[in-house]
Structure 1
């Protein structure tokens, strides 16, 4: 496992074909988490953004060290140790998983310890964690992709807004992944919050991104700009504010963006 930003964590489960014939892995595995005493942890898994192309695994027996990757595939799991909108620790507290059960599409279940020689149990903000599609192993000598880093976003926010009126701003989302991407589970969600003087907050609100203009397949480097509108209540105090925006696309690099602005009287 490794940490990225804002307490976001990512890990991978390796699959190897130890049979004598090729096999195919396709789709999204079902992942269940268990506590130290074997009890199922109540979770809500989301589909981590990833291509779902079938992966053909060759038998690892007989493969050379240069081609052994042809017998391996992996599934990425993403989780968080921090509030997803970047505001603080997990409101319900942290949960800890000591074992993982993986059900492969088409049948077959594997239960494995979540503890490796270098890592402890998976500690995460309940109940959400992400599960990616099966991915082929990186060939020997090739540069590995950064796990979970799919998009980079930027905010364009006006320097001032007016109490009781709409705040119009823009978000540009760029694919920084080295492979084409899709949204197999529908358009992703994003969260918006507006914090002001004296601890005033609009409160975190979740929306669904209108991802239709992005198309069915998102090419590496593709960039899209979205117009956003946030209504500032008439009761909001004037002063300095911070706008937070975060994309929940299932990746591990989705910490909230922040932009400063002033809210003035009409």
Structure 2
């Protein structure tokens, strides 16, 4: 295991991270480099691909095969189509020695099976040179008040125009608190001023793939579906039985979210408090 340790890496700085990962690539000489398809990963991956004249496939949701025969699946057109790509032909034509660069959409690939616990490794310091000039983050102000990051949450509870006001998010926050989840929103709710754009999920917002996504008062426009349709389990709560969100939901509840959500929260609290839970 190689470890790069420097104060310049405390917050994401593209020049410093590029130098550190570049040093790791030079030391290990990997065939492929996997990064999360996060804000940092989307910024860093093309820089690395350009530096090493390597191929780059972004936003991968599935990998079939291994080595030169690996095929990567990624969504296109707001999730309405899937593309399958491979590095084999491009690598042969380019004849480069750099690693293939892939960004993986969070929570889409299952964890690898555990390897024999008796195996041991060593930690090796990774020397690298921080550029003389690099972007440095001096402070970070989170408008979400320290809430769990949407991209990392296993549970996301989102509200749309159906919440009616900023106060309408309070029942959703209570439900998210019980489930240990994060709060999200549709663009309609953000545009209406019910919440900040930091919570927006969709084609022009964040893409999330939690284990559980609960959509409350969200109609299900294609722009919003592009940001959450790959969630493992989708629950929709909406008064309109013909809302498009029900077309992608695994479970649907036709009803007023202000009645359904508090009842669901109370039942979860009761269940979780039970000694048999």
Fold match, TM over 0.5?
no
The normalised TM-score by structure 1 is: 0.25
More strand by share: 1
Task: Identify the structure with bigger relative contact order (alpha carbons < 8 Å, sequence gap 6+).
Answer: 1
TM-score (norm 2): 0.25
